[in-house]
């Protein structure tokens, strides 16, 4: 089994939570996505944080382009590894 992960970068917690709820339905994921707060370098203010939605894709069935389009619905993007 491969340890393939995809990371969606989103502008705030609300967007990340909404995307995390929707991504399972949209792409038929079996595993819950993981939410991670990513503070921007040198920033202490919680407002200056991005949120990451980490998806596990052991069967490598997720298309990065489709994930990028999905994340764009919340003003985010798919981070290339």
Average pLDDT over the chain reads 88
Residues ≥6 apart with Cβ < 8 Å to 21: none
Sheet containing 34-39, strands listed edge to edge, beginning at the edge strand earlier in sequence: 34-39, 49-56, 5-10, 77-79
What is the mean predicted confidence (pLDDT) over 10-31? Answer: 94
Q: Where are the alpha helices (DSSP H) in the chain?
A: 13-27, 64-72
What is the mean predicted confidence (pLDDT) over 33-62? Answer: 81
57 has pLDDT over 60: yes
Please give the Cα distance from 50 to 42 (Å, whole number): 13
Neighbours of 29 (CB within 10 A): 16
What is the mean predicted confidence (pLDDT) over 17-33? Answer: 93
Residue 8: pLDDT band (50, 70, 90) is very high
Any idea what DSSP says for residue 73?
Answer: T
What is the mean predicted confidence (pLDDT) over 41-52? Answer: 69
43 has pLDDT over 60: no
């Amino acid at each position: 089994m491969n340890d393939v992960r995809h990371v969606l970068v989103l502008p705030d917690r609300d967007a990340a939570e909404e995307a995390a709820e929707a991504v399972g339905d949209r792409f038929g994921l079996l595993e819950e996505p993981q939410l991670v707060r990513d503070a921007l370098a040198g920033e202490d203010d919680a407002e200056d944080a991005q949120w990451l939605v980490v998806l596990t894709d052991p069967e490598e069935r997720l298309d990065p382009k489709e994930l990028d389009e999905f994340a764009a619905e919340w003003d985010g993007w798919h981070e290339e590894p």
